[in-house]
């Protein structure tokens, strides 16, 4: 008799749990409107990217690659700045020749935003400036990275 009561209680508890798990919650109403198709236009994307790269260029111009490299050396944090080039993603290291790279013992930090798409004049200026920055940084770091 106790087994039957235990079985019935277990069965009822299982049914309640199954019922509790299968209840659905009403979806919340969407309050945001979808962006207009114009916001995805090439002109708008390029305009937004130009603003971003103008800001990044201004921030980069405030930095001093010699001081940044000296600070990294003082912390014994040796690395070279690089970027990926081409569809194969070959690693390029500004300011360091291929012959010097054969003696490299440092890791690389890959710079971003140097892909094959150029959004405008500010992006192009940023790309040139970041490569110059990396070349100067790497020249300071070279004695610590090459055997």
CA distance 83 to 60: 16
Which helix (H) or strand (E) element contains residue 110? strand 107-110
Cα angle 19-7-2, degrees, rounded to a multiple of 5: 145
Check whether 145 has a pLDDT greater than 70: yes
Give the pLDDT confidence score for residue 85 in this predicted structure.
Answer: 80
Question: Percent of the chain, pLDDT > 90?
Answer: 39
**Whole-number mean pLDDT of the chain?**
83
Per-residue pLDDT of 27-78, as tens digits, reads 666 666 666 666 677 788 888 889 999 999 999 999 999 999 999 999 999 9
Kindly report whether the global pTM for this prediction surpasses the value 0.75.
no
Domain coordinates of the chain in residue numbers?
64-147
In angstroms, the CA 89 to CA 53 distance is 22
Tell which residue, 72, 75, 71, 81, has the closest CA to residue 133. Answer: 81
How far is the C-alpha of 18 from the C-alpha of 12, rounded, in Å?
A: 10
Q: Please give the average per-residue pLDDT across 103-124, as a whole number.
A: 86
State the Cα torsion 95-96-98-102 to the nearest 10°.
-170
- pLDDT number for residue 138: 94
Angstrom distance (rounded) from CA 119 to CA 44: 11
Query: What is the H or E stretch that residue 98 is in?
Result: helix 98-101
The DSSP element (H or E) to which 80 belongs, if any, is strand 79-85
Residue 135 binned pLDDT confidence (cut-offs 50, 70, 90) = very high
Task: Give which of 57, 52, 78 is closest to 133, Cα–Cα.
Answer: 57
């Amino acid at each position: 008799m106790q087994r039957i009561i235990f079985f019935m209680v277990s069965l009822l508890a299982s049914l309640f749990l199954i019922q509790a798990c299968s209840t659905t919650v009403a979806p919340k109403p969407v309050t945001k409107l979808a962006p207009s198709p114009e916001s995805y236009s090439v002109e708008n994307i390029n305009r937004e990217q130009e603003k971003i790269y103008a800001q990044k260029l201004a921030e980069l111009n405030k930095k001093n690659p010699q001081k940044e490299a000296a600070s990294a050396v003082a912390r014994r944090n040796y690395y070279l700045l690089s970027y990926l080039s081409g569809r194969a993603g070959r690693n390029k290291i500004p300011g360091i020749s291929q012959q010097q790279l054969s003696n490299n013992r440092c890791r690389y930090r890959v710079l971003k935003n140097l892909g094959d798409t150029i959004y405008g004049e500010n992006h192009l200026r940023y790309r040139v400036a970041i490569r110059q920055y990396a070349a100067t940084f790497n020249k300071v770091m070279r004695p610590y990275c090459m055997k």
